Structure 1
């Protein structure tokens, strides 16, 4: 269901130093070596960094065909490179290659099908920074929504949690960024869930309380409306496919708090999505989804760390012409993830155990519509 819903964000820990001029949501990944600095002649110094990794998994209650129809499988998780310039008046960021978006409680998609969402160049933008605290960026931009990174190497856990699932990933548009003292803010005019209709406004404001604590508030809404149920191209009027259309026309509000100590990080997040009643969209009543999470990571020593997360979501009782987010009208889901990680210079290996339990569901997990799912994902690879 994810690939039809979340055309989603964010380059964070890997390129946090190289996108300082562009506000974006932030998520901590695991230990990442410093990027290479290369003299590019008249362009100046650029940062180059990449990751190559693969994953294998075991899961109960598989569903569908392809990768997710298996109890066991494997695929490339990343074959990715980032080239960026974060100094001077004209800056840029290019991220290219193969990637995957594993998501808690949602079907696996093959890496080849995931790439079809945004292409082999999922993030590409130019930034004009006339002042140290003011910049404007244009292009394929990382999302401003939520804490969790879309690309799995940005995450403390391999799978994205429930709030992440409904957020945007990449949007095309223009973004203005400004900072003053402990406050930084970004506002973007974009095409939301990669709809190619530029009528969505999103924003993020972060208050750095001190070196260890910060509070972020984000939001997104459609300034008009996108598509209709009579569309014969992207929006086919056949049941839940219009859930994608409904997300394009919903409002999203959320907040997360982050504590980052010398060897410990923890972040709670809460998110609310409201979908209005709309004849144009074929919805007969408004609906909502509430999701929340608390994720944390602890560095045991220079090589070992462990991350864990608890996620929750609930969908409203009202079913709007088959459009709802989650596992059916009035459904709830609870998810748990535990991820130990080993790193050594550019090498990493991590294993994630996760479990999802549903209640009041009409759209369960797997071909047999079960209320729960266990997963074990092993990922290993190299930074370069």
Structure 2
């Protein structure tokens, strides 16, 4: 969706159309949650402090916003997507991947399906969206950004090199500022430059990440589109090669796991009421404890605080830990009473969550971490994948 929150406000309030609109708080600690394209021309962007946005665009109009309205519109968008294929993978409240391979006989080629979706979103919701059509998720995401707003781009094997080669390497998934600087030192500034490097050179410089870059430079990505919107619970676990004997190291892992769980909740527009911590000690005794929150949430800080409090119940009699996991359950489609924009502090924390989600989606989940997760985070160990319990 194009500038989703701001576009909804401009749709519902005609006096805002064509004007720079910022969704967020105006208090001393206010943060921009979304910026209209008119505001983006002045350098305003999401997750920016409101005070900075005001300096960049003094005539911008601030709007508190309504998460319930955004959520309702998001649900309608996903209904449209799922009318073409059940293989819809939400990335966030306003973005998704679709695999339409099995739908071509019913609805025509991918370009026709993309056009139908854009037309329906425009006619049924009076909003615009941008669509990328490509053989895989990496290329589809890249294509969706090429002709924003209200555009469509198609990447095929025939135009792959013409599309990728001129782009800066920063457009590749996982290439953040640090990796970009390292590539620049190798003389690599465009995807064409990267495409010219042999695999062994990239591996020697970047290890496994070098192979990742080599694949992306060729437009290769084998990640499937998967759906788990109806999961009854979401969890993330780590099993360690050596038992952890430092409680602070365990807390750091918990913070990281809470981040991953909360991010998956937000990706699927779900909220959780119950937080569970699972621990397996060095002697293989496994115990769990749960806490039910006052209201459903998808916020990282709330889930992390609950997980830490549960762990601290064990900390006084700490024993070496072999496995630690964080899970959430009692999932719902509705948030609790504390709405998205009820207070500046809530806005700020949600804007941080949104910004870190965007960075993780583009550069990988390790590209941004909270300080609580970095502190004493173990460098070695076997990491078990999170799991979603299927509906029963």
TM-score class, shorter: under 0.3
Greater fraction of residues in helix: 2
Question: How high is the TM-score relative to the length of structure 2?
Answer: 0.27
Question: How high is the TM-score relative to the length of structure 1?
Answer: 0.28
Greater fraction of residues in strand: 1
Choose 1 or 2 for highest CA Rg: 2
Task: Compare relative contact order (CA 8 Å, sep 6+) and give the higher one, 1 or 2.
Answer: 2
